[in-house]
Amino acid sequence: MSEFNIGLGNNDTQTRKDASSDFVSFWDKQAKNLSWFSTWEKTLDWNPPFAKWFVGGTINASYNALDIHQKNKAEKPAILWEGENGDSRVLTYNDMWKQVQKLANVLKSLGVKKGDRVTIYLPMIPELPISMLACARIGATHTVIFSGFSAAAIKDRIEDSKSKIVITADGGYRRGNVIKLKEVIDDAISDLDFVQNVIVVERTKNKISLSSKDKLWNQLMGNAFDVFPAEKLDSTHPLYILYTSGTTGKPKGVLHGTGGYLTHLHSTFKWAFDIKDSDVFFCTADIGWVTGHSYVVYGPLLHGATEVMYEGAPDFPNASRMWGIIEKYKVTIFYTTPTALRMFMKFGNDLPNSFDLSSLRLLGSVGEPINPEVWRWYFKIIGKEKCPIIDTWWQTETGGMLISALPGLETIPLKPGSGTLPIPGLKISVVDESGNEVPANTKGYLLIKNPWPGMLLTLWGDDKKYHDVYWSKYKNCYYPGDYALKDSDGYFWLLGRADDVLKVSGHRIGTAELESCLVSHNDVAESAVCGIPDEIKGEIIIAFVVLKQNVTKDVSLLEKELSIKIRNDIGAIATTQQIYFVSKLPKTRSGKIMRRLLKAIANNETIGDVSTLEDGAAVSEIQSAFDELK
Ligand code: WT7
């Protein structure tokens, strides 16, 4: 069935058995691997679509990440930090514990209480996980914003979460340049009076202006007391909000809880990565995305693992940076994205071959489908044919992995490009429009049929939207919005988004978000955005724009203005590859833009039924725009 029958010698059949007989008591057992202040009365309160896990139990994420390791691992490195510019720092579990308690005291002195929100806009420096864990210690809900988002995007998020404190840095390094984060924050909060203080970490020492709201991290921390007992929080206490793109104009605030989320991460981190005390774990994700929350911060620290944290761009100063880091720190487990791998692969085999990568024993991939040829390259050139590769499927909303090979649990044959099997405790199917399971090897919608502990609590401030987006298409089942197929061995193949969400370099971008940005330009009447395949980025963004009547501006000037607008309103990650100015968009007679058509044309697929189309000329105009591109 597969030539890749490679494992790490684990053969735990009991876990699968336990999980298949009763998923609730299965997770009950897993939750006991964490340290609870008091135990729960009810394992699962399932009132679809709301799941409460370990009801009545009290717990603290920061306690489980740090305090529990003080007895045996106080001097063990938690974070081996590598700055983009070559700086490095080692933080032991004791260092982290002290810093987190100090910052918790600082936050408390600034008025932060249990239940408050704190926005964190930091580069990949140790102060980022320290800030998250300090919030968790108090029971404040952290909301981390990726440092590539623009001031306008940040403002939306701070307004939505009503954070009264923002933690940022003077700047951050990216490809040798200093990104002036403090300036972006000044801009974002200029008319948000409810933001009381901004804490500023000095990373790059670039010149910044300080107002009366601003406080320097070092000054606050210098005087702070380093003892702060962790709050005993309900299992369902909100640990964080993370904004992500969906099919509507505004990003959604995905809200995660504590006890369930930690249980999911503790379990999946162990099963997927086979984590051992001697491992050096390296996940390349930015903490601004969920992969960083779950598998840079919470997963590794719950296990008392040593991990590498890298500050900058993966290809700076050149495309061998990752291989250099693996060699330098003797990384044993490496977790990255298909986009990064495609980029590395383009540079050939000589670069990775000139480094000692022999410490590696397990490789992982996340964020988008991995092309089988990239998988094979990863296996052969990076893993030297001895490391299993886990292709982990999950989402911001799921909290942790739901589909992945689990070398820490069992050896199964791997297939390049397949996520393999659901994790224990999950019932997952591929279904048609009416929810019937499709035959093997048939493309359909991925469907999660039972609740799991890492699942989101709700969307921040919008229970109805939470229901409508994920739980209304199929009764009492979670609809993730992905296409998939299940082969005759029961392996899952993830086939990309089934909705209007793009994956550009693994980053999730909503077409509606981009369209509402474009139409807010004075000269634009309408727009439609779609993705087209790209060899390295997976997908790139194409926009069609219909101008208002009587607009006489030069289109190249308009194109420039619109690009700047996207950069300002959302951020550079949403940059369009091409903007086409057309006279009309393909629409149904009832006036809905037929994105299906755009997608089909863009992907060179047959257009299918167009009987509902209002005006065929729109299609030919778009078709010729694409033909020009080829
Ligand atoms: C979407 C979720 C997973 C955390 C980082 C991204 C796509 C994710 C895979 C994979 C194929 C994948 C899906 C999913 N995706 N992992 N291994 N194979 N597709 O989280 O930004 O919330 O995006 O990423 O389309 O729905 P996210």
pLDDT tens for 129-165 read 999 999 999 999 999 999 999 999 999 999 999 999 9
Where is average pLDDT lowest: 6-10, 162-166, 200-204, 318-322? 6-10
What's the average model confidence in pLDDT over 284-291?
A: 98
How high does pLDDT run on average in the chain? Answer: 95
The pLDDT tens digits of the residues spanning 81-110 come to 999 999 999 999 999 999 999 999 999 999
494 C-alpha to ligand 1 centroid (Å): 9
Res 630: pLDDT: 60
Report whether pLDDT(321) > 90: yes
Res 195: pLDDT: 98
Q: Looking at ligand 1, which residue's alpha carbon is closest to its atom 8?
A: 367
Res 417: pLDDT: 96
What distance in Å separates the CA atoms of residue 99 and residue 91, rounded to the nearest whole number?
10
What's the average model confidence in pLDDT over 65-93?
A: 98
Res 527: pLDDT: 95
Report whether pLDDT(73) > 70: yes
**293 with 146: CB under 8 angstroms?**
no
What distance in Å separates the CA atoms of residue 57 and residue 383, rounded to the nearest whole number?
42
DSSP 8-state symbol, 255: E
Report whether pLDDT(5) > 90: no
Report whether pLDDT(1) > 60: no
561: β partners: none
For residue 365, the ligand 1 atom closest to its alpha carbon is 17
State how far the alpha carbon of 629 is from the alpha carbons of 142, 566, 623, in Å.
43, 22, 10
367 C-alpha to ligand 1 centroid (Å): 4
For residue 480, the ligand 1 atom closest to its alpha carbon is 26
The angle, 0 to 180 degrees and rounded to 10, between the axes of the packed helices 595-602 and 616-629 is: 30
For residue 508, the ligand 1 atom closest to its alpha carbon is 21
List the 252-256 sheet strands across, edge first: 214-216, 197-201, 165-169, 117-121, 141-144, 240-244, 252-256, 458-459
Residue 234 — very low, low, confident or very high, per pLDDT cuts 50/70/90? very high
324 C-alpha to ligand 1 centroid (Å): 27
> Cβ atoms within 10 A of the Cβ of 489, count?
14
Report whether pLDDT(312) > 70: yes
The pLDDT tens digits of the residues spanning 446-462 come to 999 999 999 999 999 99
Res 600: pLDDT: 81
SS3 content of the chain, % helix, strand, coil (to 5): 30, 25, 45
395 C-alpha to ligand 1 centroid (Å): 5
- Please enumerate in sequence order all residues whose Cβ is within 8 A of that of 12, keeping only pairs 6 or more positions apart, or say none: 409, 410
What's the average model confidence in pLDDT over 228-232?
A: 98
What's the average model confidence in pLDDT over 525-531?
A: 93
What distance in Å separates the CA atoms of residue 390 and residue 272, rounded to the nearest whole number?
7
Task: List residues near ligand 1 (CB under 6 A).
Answer: 244, 289-291, 366-369, 391-396, 419, 480-482, 494, 497, 503, 508
The pLDDT tens digits of the residues spanning 159-189 come to 999 999 999 999 999 999 999 999 999 999 9
Residue among 336, 485, 494, 499 whose CB has most ligand 1 atoms within 8 A, to mutate: 494
Q: Looking at ligand 1, which residue's alpha carbon is closest to its atom 14?
A: 395
Q: What percent of the chain has pLDDT over 70?
A: 99
Q: What percent of the chain has pLDDT over 90?
A: 90
What distance in Å separates the CA atoms of residue 102 and residue 220, rounded to the nearest whole number?
9
Q: Are strands 141-144 and 177-179 parallel, antiparallel or unpaired?
A: unpaired
What's the average model confidence in pLDDT over 118-133?
A: 98
| Closest to 501 (Cα-Cα) out of 456, 470, 467, 463 | 470
